[in-house]
Amino acid sequence: SAVISQKPSRDICQRGTSLTIQCQVDSQVTMMFWYRQQPGQSLTLIATANQGSEATYESGFVIDKFPISRPNLTFSTLTVSNMSPEDSSIYLCSAAPQGPDTEAFFGQGTRLTVV
């Protein structure tokens, strides 16, 4: 199975600040995905990060709040900007290293608490 390294594992941040989460895949992938899991909820897709083009955001998520970088085929970052307590969630990156017809794997997740 693929290895997806995500960091930080957890952080406690002050409201109004920003946090950048990094995700490294051990092989090249076309697409990487960023999910949010609010307390007691399931995973909600924030955006799809494509290498060489702008990320595609899902309804309810905007680039100004969640800017994404995808500088190469193995790495992506998600920034949570101008944080408020409502942003307290687990953030997860995901990729399907073997291609779209194979299973997607997840990074270890980032537990973000905004105070």
Residues 1-60 that bind another protein (CB under 8 A): 1, 31, 33, 41-45, 48
- Nearer to another protein by Cβ, of 38 and 82: the residue is 38
Smallest separation (angstroms) from another protein to the CB of 70? 14
- 37-75 in b/e form (b: 16+ CB < 10 A) is eeeeeeeeebbbbebeeebebeeebeeebbbbebeebbb
Smallest separation (angstroms) from another protein to the CB of 105? 6
Q: Does 111 bind another protein (CB under 8 A)?
A: yes
Smallest separation (angstroms) from another protein to the CB of 106? 5
Residues 68-107 that bind another protein (CB under 8 A): 90, 92, 94, 96, 100-107
Residues 6 or more apart whose CB falls under 8 angstroms from that of 79 comprise 18, 19, 20, 21, 66, 67, 68
Task: Give the Å distances, CA to CA, from 74 to 4, 27, 31, 55, 61.
Answer: 9, 6, 9, 15, 23
Positions in the binding site for another protein (CB under 8 A): 1, 31, 33, 41-45, 48, 90, 92, 94, 96, 100-111
